[in-house]
Structures are given as structure tokens and as C-alpha cells.
Amino acid sequence: MNLAGILNQNNLNRQQRESVLGWALILPAVLIILSLILYPIIYNIYLSFFDVNLEGGNTYIGLDNYSNVVFDSVFWNSVYTTILYVLFTTIGTTLLGLIVALAMNKEFPLRGLVRSLILLPYVAPVISVVFAWKFIFDPVNGIFMDITYEKLGMFSERFNMIGTPEYAVWVAILFSIWKGFPFAYLMILSRLQAIDATLYEAAEIDGANRWEKFKSITFPEVYFVVGAIVLLRIIWNFNKFEDIYLLTRNVKVLAVYTYFKAFTGYMEMGQGASLAVIQFLLLIGFILFYVKRVLKW
Amino acid sequence: MVKNKSFLNRAGFFLLVMAIVLFSIFPFIQMLSTSLKYQWDWGNPSLIPTQINLEAYKELLNIGQGEVELHESVQNLIDETPDITKAQKKAIIAKFRDTSSVFPFFRYFGNSLILATIAALLSVSIAILGAYSFSRMQYKGRSTIQRGVLFVYMFGGMLLLIPLYKMFVSLGFLSTKTGTFTSLIVIYLVQTLPVSLYMLGNYFRTISFSIEEAAMIEGAGRFETIWKIIVPLSASAIVTVFVYSFMIAWNEYLYASVFLRGFERLHTLPIGLQTLYYSKNAIWDRIMAASMLTAVPVIVLFMSIQKNLAGGMSAGGVKE
């Protein structure tokens, strides 16, 4: 039989078949995502207008959940903490990632080993590294108090850094930078390696110094990837829960505050749902501000 | 002069690299060090233990824990008090030998392992089909689906936690062990699916279509092509995606902490460790040893896929 003939004969059919098969293959994934991500989000918005009762019916209470949340000063505190956290962790991870990427782009002995070692913070499970961090800042045994109090005399007494909310947030920020910088570094490094080396040679011939080379060659080349990293980091850290909650329960960013509201004490799930909606809206606002004002896309 | 400057440059660079490495690995060194120290040594800032203490690891791994030694004073008390009956003696000894308060490391490890493995396997299998569909086939609605998958990144765990919890409670899943386990598997599956779809889709696009075409001209169907050509050719990408999904499930705390409340026997390692930390005093050595044992499998897995890592991530599919 003639192959071309068969293909011609079934031409229309084949396209339809392809379409059906294409949908059939993607369908399981689409169904799972629709039922376990899209539907719950809509359901969450629905729940935010109700007094939620786990055992039985929900009572419609209009905007009461929202007003209860918004007129609570604790809420505004956690908005402030969240913005502080997102701002400093984003700047910190990106800057450190950039510096490390620039350093790792140079040749030096044992570079392979060093590159592997600095991935460890990113790789290790949060739950296993938080305890080491707690220990470092432990008031009795920790090395931080040993250096700052015993050796440098910076504080008048040993105290619990992680137990004091105004200091704990900075420990959480440092922890997040430590955990997140390898990601930024990897992304920036792979971009750096793609830069054409002749550009630098040409600049050197023109007598450009190191800073000028960075400003007019390196930076424009990595600008896009840095912008993308910052965007991802804002999204991730705005929603961050585990890295903060497991390290300290004293830093009440929005996600931690919602968790306490919805799953401890009175288990105010309706208020929790409205908090989650507010948090999502704030994130959208934050992203729009970043994309329009900072990136100017 | 020139020589001097380049020496200073190199020394500065060396110091910078040292600082970066130290910053990255110091907490791990601290973890290892404390896990090997005796309690009286904890406050000592030196990272090298004065005397090596392996008790924490032995206790967690259940080595030599068969018979708990009775403390001398207890033994004396029993021997020197003549008016207690044999039954009472037995009860006292049993109480001192009770090991149920010991951290059940293996059970938690097993729970985490089963959960993460099943979720990652399902995620990769469904993603292979889906990613093949949107990287290789032409049909209406394809690009909408692709973009929709990306959009999922925007939603944090907290936005989905309350509705999912309420849904699974209403369905009655959370009243049985199997139901609870299943619901967590499904949740981990959906958390890792977008990443898997995206990473695999990007990889499949790099495979030349002509090989597949040849197979199809030979008369192979689509499924046969996927199984015999696409899967073997992208084995390394599939392993990478599997490890990635496995890690997301292995590390997960938020959902596990809420869903597993009713069943202590189902607790995963993250939950177990957190409970251990808050339930007992003076356990730094055991906490650190358990942390080491939780981290090592993941680190080994990750290092094994490190080569593929940078490429896979920059190809677009990333989730923390």
C-alpha cells in the first residue's frame, strides 16, 4: 500500500484525532489542577463571607470577616512585618546571589567543590536547618551570644534573639537570604556564562576599568534575569510560611497570622479565608507596583 | 607595584570566596558538631566536641537500645525495700524501661518516604503525558493550558489550605487513616504537578521530532512512541523532575501539620521533629542528630542530579 495515499485519505481525520489525543493526554493534569487549585480558590472566596463551622453549616455574615480582620491592629502589624520581610529578603538574596555569581564565574582552584558547597542551604530541608539556626542564636549555648556578648560586649546581657519579635524578624530575614541566595546565584551564573567574552576584550582595548565593564556589559546582560528573579522572590516570600514559622513563632507575617487565626484557638476559618484573600490582593498590588514602577515594562 | 596590586586582588578574592563558603556551610557544621556533643559541652563555642557522643544517633537509629539499663539507685531501691510485691517490682522496672517516649525516627522516616515517593511517581507519570501533549501536539486551547499552569505559581499554600481542609473534612477523608494519607498524597501531587509539567515540557521540545517521526512511519502509535522513544531519551530530565517533586513533598510541613492532626502514627519527619523540639527539654544533641538524618538523604539525592539542575531550572519550571 502507498503510505502517502493513506495519509492523504485520512488527512482531516488525523488532525481531529491529534486534537482528541492531545486533550486526552493533558486531561488528567488539567482535571487535578482545576479541582484542587482553581475550585478551592473560588471556594476560599466563598468561605470568606461566612462564619465557617467545620462540623456543619456555614452562616452567611457578609463582610463581617473582612471588617473584623481589618479593624484589628494585629493585622496591620503583620502587613508591616510582611512588607519588611519581603523587601529585605528580596534585596538581600538578589544582591548576594549577584556577588556570588560574579565570584564563581572566575577561575580558581577547587571551584567545583565550592560551587557544590554553596548549594547546600538551598538543598537541605527547612526543618533540618532551622534547629541549627535556633542553636546558633540560643541565649545559653549559641555562638552568636558568645561572640556578641562575651567577646565583643555589644549587649548588656545574654538574651533570646529569636524569642524577641523585633530582633526575630531580622534573624528570619537573614535565614531567608541564606536559604534563597543559591537560587539567585545559579540563575545569574548561567546567564553570565552566556555572555560573549569578546565584548570584554573590546572594552579592555578601549581602556574600560572593572566598574565600567560591569556597568555597560555585565549589568545590561543580566538585567532581565535579575528582574525575573526579583519577581519570583516577591511572590515566594510574600506567601512564605514554613521558613518563618519553623524558625520562630514570633514573626507574624500574614501567612503565619492566618495560620494562627484559622488553625489554633477558636479556629476562625472564615476570618482566615478572608485574610488569605486580602493577602492575595496585596501580592497582586505589590507585583503591579514592581512591574510598572521598578521594571517599567 | 603592579605585582603588589594583583596580589592584594587575589587575597581579597580568596577572602570573599572563603566568607561565602563559611556563610553557606556554617549552620551545617554547627549541626554536626552539636549532634556529637555531650550536654556539658553545648555551651562551649568550639565546633570540635571535647568528647565524641554518639548516643543521640544510637538512640534515633535504635542501636543497642534493646535493654534499657536500670539506674543503680532504682535497682537499690527495689532491692532494699522488702515490703513490695513481685508484681509491684515488675511494674516499677517496666516503667523505667519504657521506650515509648523515644523518638520513633524510623516510623516518621517511613511515612515521609512513602508519601513523597508515591506523590512524586504520580506527578511524574501524569506530567509525562501532559507535557508530551503540550510540547508535541497541535490543538485548540493548548497555549491557554500552558499559561494556566504557570499562573499556579501565584497562589501560596495558605490560600488553598483552608478550602482544601474544609473540602476533605466534608468528604469524610480525614476521619480514617487511609483517607488522610490519600488526601495528603493528592495535595502533594497537585503541588508538584505544575513544576513537573513545565520542566518536562521544556525538555521534550529539545528532542528532535525526526526520531519520533521515523518510529511513527514504522507504524508505532503515539503511546508506544512516548514509552519507547521519549521516556528513554529524557531519562535524566525525568529523574531530575522526580527528585524535585520528591523533595517538595519530603520537606512539606504546612499541610501535613493540619491534615495529620488526628493521627500521630502517620506523622512525617518535619512534624515529628517540630513536636520533639517543643515537647522536651535539653535535647539539642538528639534534635541535631535527627536533623542530620533528615537532611542527608535529600542532599545525596540532590547532588546526584546537580548536573541537570541549572539547566532544568533556567528552563523555567521552578518552585521552592
Q: For B166, which of A47, A103, A124 is closest by C-beta distance?
A: A47
Q: Choose among B23, B269, B311: nearest Cβ to A127.
A: B269
Instruction: Report how far Cα B165 is from the mean position of its chain's Cα atoms.
Output: 22
Report chain B residues whose CB lies below 8 A from the CB of A224.
Answer: none
pLDDT (0 to 100) of residue B315: 45
Q: Which DSSP category does A60 fall into?
A: E
Residues of chain B neighbouring A255 (CB-CB closer than 8 A): 156-158
Could A131 and B31 be called an inter-chain contact, meaning their C-beta atoms sit closer than 8 Å? yes
List % helix, strand, coil for chain B (3-state, nearest 5). Answer: 75, 0, 25
Burial profile B125-144: b = 16 or more Cβ within 10 angstroms, e = fewer: ebbbbbbbbbbbbebeebee
What's phi and psi for B158, nearest 5 deg? -70, -35
Q: Which three cell numbers stand for residue A64?
A: 463581617
For residue A125, give the H/E element and its range.
none
Residue corresponding to grid cell 506527578: B123
Mutate to test the interface with B, among A36, A45, A104, A122 (most CBs of B within 10 A): A36
Give the three cell numbers for residue B3: 605585582
At residue B317, the pLDDT reads 42
Interface ipTM above 0.90: no
Q: What is the separation of C-alpha B194 from the centre of its chain, rounded to a whole number of angstroms?
A: 19
Cβ-based neighbours of B263, under 8 Å, separated by 6 or more: B177, B180
Q: Which of A131, A186, A238 sits opposite B288 (nearest CB)?
A: A131
Interface size, chain A vs chain B, as Cβ–Cβ contacts under 8 Å: 258
- pLDDT in the model for residue B218: 82
Listed by start position, the domains of chain A span: 3-47, 67-295
- Provide the CATH number for the domain formed by A67-295 in this structure: 1.10.3720.10
Nearest to A33 among B153, B167, B190 (CB): B190
For residue B299, give how far its alpha carbon lies from the nearest alpha carbon of chain A (Å).
6
Which residues in chain A belong to E strands, given as ranges? 50-51, 59-60
Q: What's the pLDDT tens digit per position in A102-144? A: 999 988 888 888 988 999 998 899 999 999 999 999 888 888 8
Three-state SS for A160? Answer: coil
Residue of A nearest to B152 (CA): A37
Q: Which candidate, A233, A283, A247, places its Cα nearest to that of A163?
A: A247
Which of the pair, A156 or A12, is modelled with greater confidence? A156
- CA-closest candidate to residue B320, choices A179, A147, A78: A179
- Does residue B312 or residue A87 have the better pLDDT? A87
Rounded Cα gap, residues A74 and A254, in angstroms: 10
- What is the distance between the alpha carbons of residues A297 and A295, in angstroms, rounded to a whole number? 6
Chain A's closest residue to B157, CA to CA, is A239
Q: What is the Cα–Cα distance from A224 to A221, expressed in whole angstroms? A: 7
Q: What is the pLDDT of residue B54?
A: 84
Contact (CB, 8 A) for B180 and B299: no
Nearest residue to B314 (alpha-carbon basis) of A184, A179, A99, A235: A184
Dihedrals φ, ψ of A59, to 5°?
Answer: -110, 130
Q: Tell whether the model's pLDDT for residue A91 goes beyond 60.
A: yes
Residues of A in contact with B129 (CB under 8 A): 25-26, 28-29
Compute the distance between CA of residue B271 and CA of residue B277 in angstroms, rounded to an integer: 10
Q: What is the rounded CA–CA span in Å between residue A212 and residue A233?
A: 28
**Which three three-digit cell numbers place residue A62?**
457578609
State the pLDDT at residue A140. 82
Instruction: Say what the alpha-carbon torsion angle B124, B128, B134, B135 is, to the nearest 10 degrees.
Output: 110
Euclidean distance between CA atoms A279 and A273, whole angstroms: 10
Contact at CB, A47 and B163, closer than 8 angstroms: yes
Grid cell digits, residue A55: 462540623
CA distance A127 to chain B (A): 6
Asked if the Cβ–Cβ distance from A131 to B291 is below 8 Å, we say yes
Which among A97, A117, A224, A270 has a CA at the least distance from the CA of B25? Answer: A117
CA–CA separation, B34 and B46 (whole Å): 10
How would residue A180 be classed by pLDDT, with cut points 50, 70 and 90?
very high
* pLDDT, tens only, A23-78: 888 899 999 989 999 999 999 999 999 988 877 778 888 889 999 889 999 999 99
List of domains in chain B: 2-53 (no CATH), 71-99 (no CATH), 105-314 (1.10.3720.10)
Contact A127 B270 (CB under 8 A): yes
Q: Do B169 and A146 touch (CB under 8 A)?
A: no
Q: What's the rounded Cα separation, in Å, for the pair A274 and B28?
A: 39
What's residue B19's pLDDT? Answer: 95
Q: What is the pLDDT of residue B74?
A: 66
3 state SS for B210-222: HHHHHHHHCCCCH
Cell numbers placing B98:
519504657
Q: Residue B167: its chain A contacts at CB < 8 A? A: 40, 43
How many residues make up chain B in this entry? Answer: 320
Interval A252-262: pLDDT, tens: 999 999 999 99
Other CB atoms within 10 A of residue B184 CB: 26
User: Within chain B, how many helices (H) and strands (E) appear?
Assistant: 16, 0
Question: Is B191 within 8 Å of B122 (Cβ atoms)?
Answer: no
- Segments of chain B with pLDDT less than 50: 1, 312-319
